[in-house]
Amino acid sequence: SYELTQPPSVSVSPGQTASITCSGDKLGNRYVCWFQQRPAQSPVLVIYEDAKRPSGIPERFSGSNSGNTATLTISGTQAMDEADYYCQVWDSSSAVVFGGGTKLTVL
Amino acid sequence: QVRLQQSGPGLVKPSQTLSLTCAISGDSVSSISAAWAWIRQSPSRGLEWLGRTFYRSKWNSEYASSVKSRITIEPDTSKNRFSLQMNSVTPDDTAVYYCAREFYGSGSPNPHFDYWGQGALVTVSS
C-alpha cells in the first residue's frame, strides 16, 4: 500500500516561513491535498491539487509537489497557524491515504 | 454552504456493531459531483479513511481493505444522509469518527475533502 511520510514536528518563529514536507514514492505523479487540524476540531482543507487554495484560506498558504516530495509552505506564519498538518493522496485503487501528520509550533 | 451533522452512540461494547449517521444539508447524497466518506482518527492509527458511497448512475460503495469485511456505508436518500456500520468492534476501533464530502469539481482532475462533520468520539469498551 502507498505510504506518506511527514516529519513529526516543525517549529517556526512568528512572521517567518514554515515548510512542512510530505514524502512518497513518485509523489509528484499524484495530486496532494493538505489539511490543517487545530486541537479538538475537524480537519480543514488548506491546499488541494498540489497548490490550489480553497475559498477563505489565506494567501500565506501555498503548496508544491515534485519528484518524491510535496511541500506546504506558510509565509509570514502567525500564532493562529499552530496546528497539526496532514498531507493526503489517493492510491491507485482510489483508496485515500493520509500522512502521519506534522505538529507545527509557532514560538 | 454544505453542513454535515453526525449522530450516533459514543459507547459500543466489544463484538457489537458501531452505527453512525451523517445528515447532509446544502447538498444531496445523490449528487454526481460528490462521494460521501467516513474517516476515523486515533493516536495509534492517525487519520484513516474507511470508505465512501456515491451515486453514478447507480449506487456504489468502496471500502478500505483494512476494514472491508466489517463495514457497510449506505445512503438514505429519503433523509438525505448516509451511514456507517462497523461490526465485530474491538477496543482498537476506539477513535474519533468523521464524515466528509469528497467533492469532484467541474474540470478538476481530482476530488478533495472540502466539508467535514464535527467528529464523534466512539469508545469501544465493556
Chain A positions in Cβ-Cβ contact with residue B98 (cut-off 8 Å): 42-43
Give mean pLDDT, residues B26-52.
Answer: 96
Per the CB < 8 Å rule, is B112 touching A45? yes
The SS3 assignment for A79 reads: helix
Q: Kindly report, residue by residue over A19-63, the tens digit of the pLDDT.
A: 999 999 999 999 999 999 999 999 999 999 999 999 999 999 999
pLDDT in the model for residue A93: 85
Calpha distance B72→B84 (Å, rounded): 6
CB pairs under 8 A between A and B: 50
Percent of chain B scored above 70 by pLDDT? 100
The answer, for B74 touching chain A at a CB cutoff of 8 Å, is no
Q: What is the pLDDT of residues B40-65, one digit of tens each?
A: 999 998 999 999 999 999 999 999 99
Least confident of A64-68, B57-61, B83-87, B105-109: B105-109
Contact map slice: A 16-75 vs B, CB within 8 A: 31, 33, 35, 42-45, 48-49, 54
Tell me which of A1, A3, A42 to substitute to probe the interface with B (most B C-beta atoms closer than 10 Å): A42
Q: How far does the CA of residue B84 sit from the closest CA of chain A (Å)?
A: 17
In sequence order, the β-bridge partners of residue B84 are B20, B73
- Identify the burial level of B13 via C-beta atoms within 10 angstroms of its C-beta, where 0-12 means exposed, 13-18 middle and 19 or more buried: exposed
Residues in B closer than 8 angstroms to A36, CB to CB, are none
Instruction: Return the pLDDT at B71.
Output: 98
Residues 6+ apart with CB under 8 A from A76: A15, A16, A17, A60
Q: Any idea what DSSP says for residue A53?
A: P
Helix, coil or strand: residue B10:
coil
Give the distance from residue A18's alpha carbon to the nearest chain B alpha carbon, in angstroms.
22
In chain B, which ranges are E strands? Answer: 3-7, 11-12, 18-25, 34-42, 46-55, 59-63, 71-76, 81-86, 95-103, 112-116, 120-124
| Amino acid B107: pLDDT | 80
